[in-house]
Structure 1
Amino acid sequence: MLAAGHAAVDLYQGAVPALVPFLVAERGYGYVAVSGVVLAATLLSSIVQPVFGVLTDRWRMPWLIPVSMVVAGTGVAVGGVTDSYALTWLAVALSGLGVAAYHPESARLARIASEGSHVRMSWFSLGGTLGFASAPVLVTPLLAAWGLGASPFLVVPAVLAALLTLPAIRATAGGGQATRTAAPVSGRDDWPSFARLTLVIVFRSVVYVGLSAFVALYMGGGTAGAVALFVLFAGGAAGTVLGGRLAARWGRVRTMRVAYALAVPAVAGVVLAPGPVAYAFIAASSIALYVPFSLHVTLGQDFLPSRVGTASGVTLGLAVSVGGLTSPLVGAMAEATTLQAALATLIAFPFLAYLLTHTLKEPAS
């Protein structure tokens, strides 16, 4: 149930890139304008998500999970029917606030439910990945048929998921103080390692958010663009599950290194491969970039064992969404040169992440 709730919230992160082709077609927005909308979804989330993490370290707030779901859905639903760019930006920012509020508390409860298992946490992360993947499947046909005016219907999954997850929230959060200390991690907080891990996630975020913002347009928009987004998001589902299983066998840090090394040629293929061949590289990029996804969360929590909420807020929130802060730069470069040239700059970031993983070690158990 917690994974299903994660899917519903991250659907709204995936819905924003799915809105981009329709904002271009119906409102005439340019690359900079639509990248600004992507920025709206991530800017407020980037700023406030660590704050929610600190709060959940001090107080249990399970009520925040269903409320944040509805807020995330409402923002996207309203963003499609506003009559100005400013109001669209603010509505999408509201959705980002809901996403920010959701992740720290839900990750804390998921850690309790998973009892510290990397594989089980990968299933929780898989829920979010499937939410991303389902966004173009849900959003594109709806808006293609009825236009942006149909976007209010997009709030329905948030309401249904909020109701669905209430029993799981009550069961997981209702165990008193013992609930708070379930699946403890020994050791002191390792802030230097956590800071380096955060930078790895930032590099990963820049390339993934850049691809999700522009790959639909790069592949031609319309059905081709929707397929590209679906492949990008669905490939992440395979990568998330694979990451948990590989980490159980090889260890988290080694798995991350291999994944980021493979991401470099995969992202290059997205930019350089001709025609339909690019879809294979989009899938490969997504898998490689998502193999480390749940591992970032558990590593961060193990580096900061006394601040699980803060670690979750940063690894699931700030460091992930900060990539959206660079999307206007990619859009500006695309307008100044070509979209292909702008996307080519993303190839460097998985390589930087790969290099930085060599400074990390598994936390002492």
Structure 2
Amino acid sequence: MPTNHLASSAPPRAPRTGPLTLLSLGHACVDIYQGAVAALVPFFVAERAYTYAAASGIVLAAALLSSVVQPLFGALTDRWTMPWLLPVSTVLGGTGVALAGIMHSYPLTLLVVALSGIGVAAYHPEAARVARRASRGSHTAMGWFSLGGNLGFAAAPLMVSAVVATGGLHASPLLVVPALAGAALCLAALRSATLSSPPANTAGSAGRAGTDDWPSFLRLTGAIVCRSVVFVGLSTFISLYVRQRTGGDQVSGTAALFVLYLGGAVGTVAGGRLARRFGRVAVARWSYALSVPAVAGVVYVPGPLLYLCVALTSAGLYVPFSLHVTLGQDYLPRRVGTASGVTLGLAVSVGGIASPLVGTLADATTLQTGLAPLIVLPALGWLLLRRLQEPVQLETAPPLRHSAARG
């Protein structure tokens, strides 16, 4: 199996905490809109009487175009630095969601949500490239960058509930506020010239970057897709499902979605720390294995214990989240933008493509039956990771060239 020989005796440089903090906060503002789409689903069902399939189609709209254009943006950021994408894509992501509640037809709702998905897709490859440089290749530091996105996910149901439960779907334009704040944070982070432009000593860096290990990267991507289908399927329907299983109200469903997202914050931080001790691949492999009984608990455990299963599922799905990103970058050292676009974007959003299948099955049977197939997917992810080897880390490598990378 190919490996990336980048050993160096020089100590790794410390992460640049100032820009990285701003980038993490900006990441939170962007990923609010990934979480907001699922958080809006119960309100579309209640106010517009959408079926499960129609409601999950909204999630599909956000994911489909995002999935298609994500590799394109990754390839572009491998060739050219495009720091302007960060604030522009943040605003686009927020504007689409903000307009979703005031579109009076289903096709127009799909259109604006799809535009939001494009904004999210455009953000992640370039943001991951910039964060990689700010983190100096530290997996723990990249974990903090990923944590920002997870906190945005966690804040989404609270924000949507506070705005839409109070003013109805017609109040959705207020949801653009985090996007404006995120754009300002991105601009502040990019004021550092070393983050927004290529490093000066890039001559020949592509040649020193090592060999792209596509077989390992594709196995990793397959595992991430399995995780994505589980996560998006649960996030789309968990609010409705918990209300059915517990006999609770809208607050109980929102609380379950919040737990699903917030557990990711704990899991992401834990993942970086565990990886330093046991290795990224081993931690990811065990996380997928432990997610199998946790997801089964979400589907079948009744009553308040359901919330505990949601929390365990969230932790299991999120422990390897930031590890996916750095593993992908290390498997494709010559195409860091492409690797970031796939691991942080495409393979995450592609789960939305499967959500209408869950909705269609739920319409034909029950919501519990629709969610049951999700149990086997973490096991499939574990099988894909079973023979994956740890790549050589890029922490001590010279800065990567992103303005004219060649493959």
Match of 2:369 among 331, 335, 341: 341
Return the letter of the residue paired with 2:237: F
Q: Distance in 1 between matches of 2:153 and 2:282?
A: 26
Match of 2:174 among 129, 132, 153: 153
Q: Would you say how many aligned residue pairs link Structure 1 and Structure 2?
A: 365
Q: Given the superposition, is the C-alpha separation of residues 205 and 92 from structure 1 closer, same or farther in structure 2, using an over 3 Å criterion?
A: same
TM-score if structure 1 supplies the norm length?
Answer: 0.97
Match of 1:198 among 221, 235, 258: 221
Q: Distance in 1 between matches of 2:40 and 2:335?
A: 36
Q: Distance in 2 between matches of 1:176 and 1:73?
A: 31
Structure 2, unaligned runs of 5 or more? 1-21, 244-248, 394-407
Q: Given the superposition, is the C-alpha separation of residues 63 and 223 from structure 1 closer, same or farther in structure 2, using an over 3 Å criterion?
A: same
Q: Given the superposition, is the C-alpha separation of residues 181 and 18 from structure 1 closer, same or farther in structure 2, using an over 3 Å criterion?
A: farther
1:234 match: 262
- Structure 1 runs (4+) deviating above 6 angstroms are 179-185
2:387 match: 359
Q: Given the superposition, is the C-alpha separation of residues 178 and 286 from structure 1 closer, same or farther in structure 2, using an over 3 Å criterion?
A: farther
Return the letter of the residue paired with 2:63: T
Give the % identical residues.
64
Q: Distance in 2 between matches of 1:238 and 1:354?
A: 21
Matched, 1:296 2:319: no
Aligned-residue Cα RMSD (Å) equals 1.6
Q: Distance in 2 between matches of 1:364 and 1:186?
A: 11
Asked if the contact 2:74–2:339 (Cα under 8 Å) also holds between the matched residues in 1, the reply is: yes
Q: Distance in 1 between matches of 2:207 and 2:102?
A: 46
1:214 match: 237
Within 5 Å, give how 1:256-275 maps onto structure 2.
Answer: 256-275=284-303
1:80 match: 101
Within 5 Å, give how 1:46-195 maps onto structure 2.
Answer: 46-171=67-192, 172-174=195-197, 176-178=199-201, 186-195=209-218
Asked which structure has the greater CA Rg, the reply is 2
Q: Distance in 1 between matches of 2:203 and 2:69?
A: 23
Matched, 1:251 2:279: yes
Q: Given the superposition, is the C-alpha separation of residues 146 and 355 from structure 1 closer, same or farther in structure 2, using an over 3 Å criterion?
A: same
Q: Distance in 1 between matches of 2:226 and 2:339?
A: 17
Asked if the contact 2:260–2:310 (Cα under 8 Å) also holds between the matched residues in 1, the reply is: yes
Q: Distance in 1 between matches of 2:277 and 2:306?
A: 31
Q: CA deviation at 1:170?
A: 2.4
Farther-moved stretch of structure 1 (170-179 vs 131-140): 170-179
Q: CA deviation at 1:176?
A: 3.9
Q: Given the superposition, is the C-alpha separation of residues 179 and 23 from structure 1 closer, same or farther in structure 2, using an over 3 Å criterion?
A: farther
Asked if the contact 2:56–2:236 (Cα under 8 Å) also holds between the matched residues in 1, the reply is: yes
Asked if the contact 2:359–2:370 (Cα under 8 Å) also holds between the matched residues in 1, the reply is: yes
Q: Distance in 1 between matches of 2:45 and 2:87?
A: 32
Within 5 Å, give how 1:254-333 maps onto structure 2.
Answer: 254-333=282-361
Q: Distance in 1 between matches of 2:122 and 2:217?
A: 21
Structure 1, unaligned runs of 5 or more? none
Q: Secondary structure at the match of 1:306?
A: coil
Asked if the contact 1:187–1:364 (Cα under 8 Å) also holds between the matched residues in 2, the reply is: no
2:36 match: 15
Asked if the contact 1:185–1:302 (Cα under 8 Å) also holds between the matched residues in 2, the reply is: no
Q: CA deviation at 1:185?
A: 7.8
Q: CA deviation at 1:173?
A: 1.4
2:396 match: none
Q: Distance in 2 between matches of 1:160 and 1:363?
A: 37
Q: Secondary structure at the match of 1:219?
A: helix
Return the letter of the residue paired with 1:297: V
Q: Distance in 2 between matches of 1:180 and 1:222?
A: 57
Matched, 1:6 2:6: no
Asked if the contact 1:115–1:183 (Cα under 8 Å) also holds between the matched residues in 2, the reply is: no
Asked if the contact 1:185–1:305 (Cα under 8 Å) also holds between the matched residues in 2, the reply is: no
TM-score if structure 2 supplies the norm length?
Answer: 0.87
Q: Distance in 2 between matches of 1:181 and 1:64?
A: 26
Q: Given the superposition, is the C-alpha separation of residues 120 and 175 from structure 1 closer, same or farther in structure 2, using an over 3 Å criterion?
A: same
Return the letter of the residue paired with 1:218: Y
Return the letter of the residue paired with 1:121: M
User: More helix per residue: 1 or 2?
Assistant: 1
Q: Kindly provide the CA deviation profile for residues 132-188 of structure 1, in whole angstroms up to 9, marking residues without a partner as x.
A: 000011111211110000000000110111112212112121464348999998420
Return the letter of the residue paired with 1:142: V
Asked if the contact 2:81–2:198 (Cα under 8 Å) also holds between the matched residues in 1, the reply is: no
Asked if the contact 1:193–1:360 (Cα under 8 Å) also holds between the matched residues in 2, the reply is: yes
Q: Kindly provide the CA deviation profile for residues 186-233 of structure 1, in whole angstroms up to 9, marking residues without a partner as x.
A: 420001111111101000001010000000110116111100110000
Q: Secondary structure at the match of 2:310?
A: helix
Q: Given the superposition, is the C-alpha separation of residues 49 and 177 from structure 1 closer, same or farther in structure 2, using an over 3 Å criterion?
A: farther
Return the letter of the residue paired with 1:362: E
Asked if the contact 1:331–1:342 (Cα under 8 Å) also holds between the matched residues in 2, the reply is: yes
Asked if the contact 1:112–1:183 (Cα under 8 Å) also holds between the matched residues in 2, the reply is: no
Asked if the contact 1:115–1:182 (Cα under 8 Å) also holds between the matched residues in 2, the reply is: no
